[in-house]
């Protein structure tokens, strides 16, 4: 139902605070890890896919870790409903530091697997 709800509206900007992230259970409790990331974008599917990639980098649950990110139920359904992008190749990354560029390389590896 989350993908269906997201099909109803299109925000101009999506911001994800990933400074401290819950890698399990969540969204209000669970194991916390410092991701030290802050994402902004205009595509809900892209932001969610990058968020899953970051969770995988940090070490998350087996359910979130297995298979292609774009085959995760919520992302797959959002793609079917044309909520946003349909593949990781459509994600554009804009960074301003070498450290961020290194993280993008890791994220792209997770998105491709």
- Structural domain that includes position 62: 2-112
CB distance 35 to 56 below 8 Å: no
Domain count for the chain = 1
CB distance 39 to 12 below 8 Å: no
Average pLDDT over residues 55-64: 93
Total-model pTM: 0.90
Residue 11, pLDDT score: 85
Average pLDDT over residues 93-109: 96
Helices (H), 7-97: 44-58, 62-65, 73-80
């Amino acid at each position: 139902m989350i993908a269906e709800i997201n099909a109803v509206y299109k925000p101009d900007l999506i911001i994800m605070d990933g400074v401290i992230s819950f890698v399990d259970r969540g969204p209000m409790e669970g194991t916390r890890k410092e991701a030290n990331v802050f994402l902004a974008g205009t595509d809900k599917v892209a932001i969610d896919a990058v968020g899953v990639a970051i969770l995988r980098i940090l070490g998350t649950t087996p359910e979130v870790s297995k298979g292609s990110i774009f085959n995760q139920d919520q992302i797959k359904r959002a793609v079917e409903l044309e909520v946003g992008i349909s593949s990781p190749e459509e994600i554009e990354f804009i960074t301003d530091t070498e450290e961020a560029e290194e993280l993008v390389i890791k994220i792209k590896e997770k998105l491709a697997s």
